[in-house]
A and B are shown apart, each in its own frame.
Chain A
Amino acid sequence: GENVEQHPSTLSVQEGDSAVIKCTYSDSASNYFPWYKQELGKGPQLIIDIRSNVGEKKDQRIAVTLNKTAKHFSLHITETQPEDSAVYFCAASTGGNEKLTFGTGTRLTIIP
């Protein structure tokens, strides 16, 4: 089955700087890669996703890049703000497969 690895497990960034979180996946058939933000005591909230026919997607301060050859994808947050502090999870899914396989999460702390 699919295996998703995520790094780093914790990340502290000065407010205003950029943060990058990286994930690798094992199943070359995976074609959908969402990123979720989870705040304390709450469920995961989708912040951005990318499909395998696209190399990069951007939404305001958030961008995701995908390298299918290397089987890795990354989340980039620019101009970080205190409200960006949370745990971020990457996930992968294979076409025709209903299941999302999640990484182990990155705890992002924005230092004011």
Chain B
Amino acid sequence: DTGVSQDPRHKITKRGQNVTFRCDPISEHNRLYWYRQTLGQGPEFLTYFQNEAQLEKSRLLSDRFSAERPKGSFSTLEIQRTEQGDSAMYLCASSLGSPGGGNTIYFGEGSWLTVV
């Protein structure tokens, strides 16, 4: 068990550019989540996948954001036409099943995005 892995850990980009983050969940975890965390706040849910299917999206996920999990393993989160308000830490998490069903959600170390 190598934990949830995220790449890159830090990204500085100019406003208007596109960025992509990658997440490798814990092996055999069928659920994968994306959260966003700004300074001084708790993580906020963005979206989740069960295997390759994206089953829920928060209204925080504007149409500039897109997430994929093409083979039910790793996932990517792309932000198009970045804005300064997108500056945050993007957290990926995974679990074997639903938290309501007794499963723990494990978080990665996060990807910091700074839009200048």
B is a partner of A:
yes
Q: How far is the CB of A46 from chain B (nearest CB, A)?
A: 6
* Interface stretch of the complex, out of B12-20, B43-51, B68-76: B43-51
Would you call B21 an interface residue if the criterion is a C-beta within 8 Å of the partner chain's C-beta atoms?
Answer: no
Closest-by-CB residue of B relative to A30 is B100
Q: How far is the CB of B39 from chain A (nearest CB, A)?
A: 10
Q: What interface size band does chain B fall in?
A: 20 to 34
Query: Whole-angstrom distance between the alpha carbons of A46 and B99 in the complex?
Result: 12
**Majority secondary structure of chain A interface residues (helix, strand, loop or mixed):** strand
Pair A105/B40 contact, Cβ less than 8 Å: yes
Query: Whole-angstrom distance between the alpha carbons of A68 and B40 in the complex?
Result: 28
Pair B108/A99 contact, Cβ less than 8 Å: no
Closest-by-CB residue of B relative to A99 is B45
- Known contacts A34-B99, A42-B110, A44-B91; is-contact A102 B104 (Cβ 8 Å): no
A-B contact pairs, 25 of them (CB 8 A): A6-B42, A32-B100, A34-B99, A43-B108, A43-B110, A44-B91, A45-B107, A46-B104, A51-B102, A91-B42, A95-B100, A97-B98, A98-B33, A98-B48, A98-B99, A99-B56, A100-B45, A100-B99, A100-B105, A101-B45, A102-B42, A102-B44, A103-B42, A104-B41, A105-B41
